[in-house]
Each structure stands twice: as C-alpha cells, then as structure tokens.
Chain A
Amino acid sequence: MKILVAVKRVVDHNVRIRVRPDGSGVETNGVRMSMNPFCKHAVEAAVQLAEAGSADEVVIVSIGPKAANDVILTALAMGAHRGILVESDQSLETLVIAKLLARIVDEEQPDLVLLGKQAVDDDSNHVGQMLAALTDRPQATFASEIKLDGNALEVTREVDSGRETIALPLPAIVTADLRLNTPRNAALPMVMKARSKPLAVRPVAEFGVDLTPRLKVEQVASPPERAAGKRVNSVAELATAIAADINEMEAI
C-alpha cells in the first residue's frame, strides 16, 4: 500500500503573530516557520502504518516556496520514504492546492492520502475534502483513530456531538485531528538520513493548473482587544455579580 501525505509550512504555532500595520496580512518575514501541527499527526499516522507493515511507501508532498523543503525533510526524518516539492512563491488558494494535489494523486495512485484537518495559518479546513471531491474518493475528516482492515479503513471521527465511526473503501482521503497520535521527534541520525532520501522539486507551472485567486483579500486586521476587568474578593461578591448578570440577561 502506498500512502501520500500532504504537509504545509506555516508560521510556527508557538509564535504570537503580528498583523502588518498596513492591513496587507500577517508578518511572516523573519518569523519562525515549521510544519503545520495537524500535518505532523498525518505524517505520524502514515509512518506508523508503514512500521506496522501495512504500507510499503510513504510519499510526502508539499506545495510552497523552496524553503518548504524543510518541512518535507522533517517528515522524511520521521520515517517517510521520499518527498515531492511543488515549488511556488505565490500564495495559493485551497482550491488550487487541491487541484495540484489531485494531479499528484493521478501520478502516484496512492491507496490512502493523509492530510492535517486544517492549517493553523488560514484555518480553512478545506483541502482534504476538496481533494476527495476532485479524485472522487470517500473521505473521513477529523480522524482520531484509524484502523486498516484489508482493503477498508475504519475511522473514528471527532464530531460536534461526540465521536462517530465510519468505514471507507480504499482508495480514500483522511484528515487528521490532534488526538490521532503523538507525533515523534526525529532523532539526529534520522535527520541526517533524511538528507539522502529522494526529494523531487517541481515547478508549479509544470502542472498546468490555473493559479489565479478567486477571492480578493481586502484587509487583515487585529481583533478588538479586551480591556482588563476587575477583581472580586469573595465568593459572595462573585455570586451577587453573576446573579445580577443573569437578571440582566433575562430582562433582555
């Protein structure tokens, strides 16, 4: 079985982001970048399936600038076998990303595609679902448990009402949630070894996908700040305040 994992390079999730004063976006110059956390769970799931003997090959694909090599190397150090970078310096919308990934799926014919459920920069939560539509494959989003049984997957998903389990015939698309696993930190020898694994760099133009954005970003702004409130000193005082709030709410 071949698994394809898509990973995204984003502003590190520990960095406190800063909106550019001109409203053109979020400052990414000189900011620490790393693999999107949800993508890391997807890579870990694929590597675990390979280690269990269920998958023969784990292929990593990332779409982004040359620097996105870094996140592919991280995935290779975690145990993936080879990487593909679709190089583009342009910021691309999720529909375009899904179309590019669909081309890669056409070429590679993976049995399973794993992705993070969302990227922590645009928080879109689109690409897995869109790729599933474009490749006409079944999907399971927000996966917190994956069981492979022959040619079928049993996936437990985290949904608003709790969890649910669904069965998917392969080939399929699955997006990872945080409780799927605990991603490993690659040991130094694995990091060294990753550098000798194959990594193909391919210009985005090669794929013939129209990259023109459909949406126009007018501005990016900081949300309104909350002013600090006051302290109460006793439970009685807090209870009175809560009761007053509730009476006010009921009055509206």
Chain B
Amino acid sequence: MSVLVLAELDNGALSASTARIVAAASQLGPVDLLVPGPAAAADQAATIAGIAKVIHAKEVVLADGLANLLAGLAEPYTVIAAAASTTGKDVMPRLAAKLDIQPVTDIVAIEAPNRFVRPVYAGNALETVTDGQAKHVLTFRASAFRPAASGNAAPIQPLDAQIASAARFIAAHRTQSDIPDLSTAQIVVGGGVSVGSAEGFKLVEQLGHVLGAAIGATRAAVDAGYAPNDWQVGQTGKIIAPDLYIAVGISGALQHLAGIQGAKKIIAINTDPEAPIVKIADLALIGDLFEILPQLTAELEKSGLKR
C-alpha cells in the first residue's frame, strides 16, 4: 500500500502538523510527501522519518490547482492523505470527487488499514467506518497523532508541472505573532467572552507568554472582536489537543468543548462554579480572572519555569 501525503505549509514554511500527518499515514504504508512550496520546505520535509520520497512542486495555493496537482500524481497510490486543516478540507473533497471516491475525513484513530474513527456531531459521537474502496482519500486531525521523528534524508524529486487555477489569490491577512502554533501547541491558554476586550486578552497573552503557550479563544470572544479568528477553538475553529489547556473566563459551550476534547489536562479559571467547563476541568479556581491572571503570571514568573 503506497501513500501520497500533501504537506501542510504555512506561509511557505513546513508546518509542525506535517510530521504528525506523516506519522499517521505511515501506519498505512511508505509515504511520498508532496511539497508544493519553496525548496527549503522540501529540504526540511526530507528529514521526517517514514518518508520514502519528497516530491517538490512549484508553489500552488488554491484548491482547484492543488486538487489538479494531486489528481495528476494519484494513479500509483492506494492512499492520498492530508491534514484536516483549512487547506486539507478545501482540497481533499475536491480531489476525491474528481477521482470518484468517497473520502474519510477528520480521522482521529486508525483501527485497521481501511477502518477509521472520526468524530461526528461536534465530537459528541465517534463514528467507526470501513472504507471498502480500492483507493482512499483521507484527512487526519493533526492534534490526534504524535509527530514522526526526524533524522531521515529522503530523496527529493522535483516536479515540473504547471498548474493553473481558475481562482486567483489576492491577499493574505495574517495574524502576526511569535506565539506557538495553536493546533500543535503543548500548552494552550484560552480566553472567553468574559475577558471583556482586546485589552483584557493582553492578560491572557501575558500568562501564555510565561508558559510558552499558544493562545486560543472562544467563538463568542472572536465574534466580539476581542481575538482574531485564527485563535478560535471549537467545532468550527481549530481542534486542539495540548497536554495542558488553561481556560480563562470560558463557560464551556458545547462547540468549544468539542474543540478541546483531546486536551490531556484542563484547568479552569472562572467566577461561576456551575460553568460546564468547571465541571469537566481537572483543576478549577473560582474567582475573578482580572484579579487572578496578573497574580498567577507573577507567581509563575517568580517560580522560574524553564519554557
């Protein structure tokens, strides 16, 4: 069974989730990795364990182009896979329909080479499906898999395909920051609508900074304009699985809980002892976040954490 994986790129650089998708996909067979981006990303990709070959193509960013690129390469592969990211979600169903395949997406566990577990109803149920098709188109949820090791030196095969898109890229509006990537971070500090303002979110960010954590936000906080949309955690935002999630002023709406189900440990800071998130948290401190956060940040700074 041979596998073709589409690398996850972020602004031309290889994303941390690529090594996780490769780890998942290499359970199904040797992996060839397609990197449609800069040569440096292909070089970096070649070091990921489990990769037989890197296929390096010119940068292609839009779904119709990427689906065409993958369709052109698909023939010899049994499995074509990508991350369940906004790119994977954009491209893989389009590719699947072109190949007349029913895809299996958002996979969180592999039970057999053609049997997969995926969440439905915002993670309130887990569905196990067997895919009896001759070829499989899959997306994996990066946060559900551990990253593959590095140290490989896979050969890089350049691909000289010219891929056109009917759609045209105009502009990216990126959130500039040096904080860790939310979907693969080990620690995440999330803020809810009770944080009250973009200014209030600075307190959340300060705590995050001390912990070397990524910053998350609920949909309500994003809708209110307190945080950018790419911080949104939940059914329609990012699905995260950090070792530690600190939920600040978050009540725990179903769609937010859907996004943090994979967190190993949850700490809640909330005024309401009856909040749903307090009930599922491993540890909770009841009180006013505006008093607690500055004190907590100061205490942790004092303790000299090495992050």
Q: Given A133-B94, A235-B295, check contact A26 B130 (CB 8 Å).
A: no
A241: interface (CB < 8 Å): yes
A residues near B123, Cβ cutoff 8 Å: 223
Q: Given A123-B235, A161-B10, check contact A241 B283 (CB 8 Å).
A: yes
User: Among B100, B175, B244, which residue has its beta carbon within 8 angstroms of that of A245?
Assistant: B244
Q: Given A129-B93, A161-B174, A166-B167, check contact A231 B284 (CB 8 Å).
A: yes
CB closest residue in chain A, given B118: A123
What per-residue 1/0 map shows which CB atoms of B245-273 lie under 8 Å from chain A?
01000000010000001000111010000
B171: interface (CB < 8 Å): yes
B106: interface (CB < 8 Å): yes
Q: Are A163 and B173 in contact (CB under 8 A)?
A: yes
A residues near B219, Cβ cutoff 8 Å: 178
What per-residue 1/0 map shows which CB atoms of B266-307 lie under 8 Å from chain A?
110100000000011111111000001001100110010111
- How many residues in A have their beta carbons less than 8 Å from beta carbons of B? 82
Q: Are B125 and A95 in contact (CB under 8 A)?
A: no
Q: Closest CB of chain A to B129's CB: distance in Å?
A: 5
Q: Are B132 and A242 in contact (CB under 8 A)?
A: no
B153: interface (CB < 8 Å): no
A1: interface (CB < 8 Å): no
Q: For the complex, give the distance between the alpha carbons of A142 and B300 in Å.
A: 39
Q: Are B243 and A167 in contact (CB under 8 A)?
A: no
Q: Are B165 and A138 in contact (CB under 8 A)?
A: yes
What per-residue 1/0 map shows which CB atoms of B218-249 lie under 8 Å from chain A?
01000100001110000110100001101000
Query: In the complex, how many residue pairs between chain A and chain B have their CB atoms under 8 Å apart?
Result: 256
A residues near B132, Cβ cutoff 8 Å: 214-216
Q: Are B104 and A215 in contact (CB under 8 A)?
A: yes
A residues near B175, Cβ cutoff 8 Å: 161-162
Q: Are A238 and B267 in contact (CB under 8 A)?
A: yes
Q: Are B230 and A125 in contact (CB under 8 A)?
A: no
User: Among A94, A121, A160, A238, which residue has its beta carbon within 8 angstroms of that of B87?
Assistant: A160
Q: Are A214 and B172 in contact (CB under 8 A)?
A: no
Q: Are A126 and B103 in contact (CB under 8 A)?
A: yes
A residues near B67, Cβ cutoff 8 Å: 133
CB closest residue in chain A, given B165: A138
A109: interface (CB < 8 Å): no
Q: For the complex, give the distance between the alpha carbons of A168 and B65 in Å.
A: 13
B131: interface (CB < 8 Å): yes
What per-residue 1/0 map shows which CB atoms of A114-146 lie under 8 Å from chain B?
000110111111110111111001111110100
What per-residue 1/0 map shows which CB atoms of A215-233 lie under 8 Å from chain B?
1111111110010111111
Q: Are B168 and A166 in contact (CB under 8 A)?
A: yes
B63: interface (CB < 8 Å): yes
Q: Are B284 and A168 in contact (CB under 8 A)?
A: no
Q: For the complex, give the distance between the alpha carbons of A143 and B143 in Å.
A: 24
Q: Are A139 and B236 in contact (CB under 8 A)?
A: no
What per-residue 1/0 map shows which CB atoms of A72-113 lie under 8 Å from chain B?
000000000000000000000111001000000000000000
Chain A contact residues, CB within 8 Å of chain B:
11, 16-17, 19, 26, 93-95, 98, 117-118, 120-127, 129-134, 137-142, 144, 154, 156-169, 172, 177-179, 213-223, 226, 228-239, 241-243, 245-246, 249-250
**What are 28 A-B pairs with beta-carbon distances under 8 A?**
A26-B121, A95-B103, A123-B119, A127-B93, A139-B64, A142-B90, A159-B87, A160-B10, A161-B230, A162-B172, A162-B230, A166-B62, A215-B129, A215-B130, A216-B132, A218-B128, A220-B125, A222-B125, A223-B125, A228-B279, A231-B286, A232-B285, A238-B292, A238-B296, A239-B299, A239-B303, A246-B244, A249-B244
9 tightest CB-CB pairs across the interface, nearest first? A239-B299, A130-B97, A229-B282, A214-B102, A133-B97, A129-B93, A126-B93, A138-B166, A138-B167
Chain B contact residues, CB within 8 Å of chain A:
10-11, 62-64, 67, 85-87, 89-98, 100-106, 115, 119-133, 165-175, 183, 186-187, 211, 219, 223, 228-230, 235-236, 238, 243-244, 246, 254, 261, 265-267, 269, 279-286, 292, 295-296, 299-300, 303, 305-307
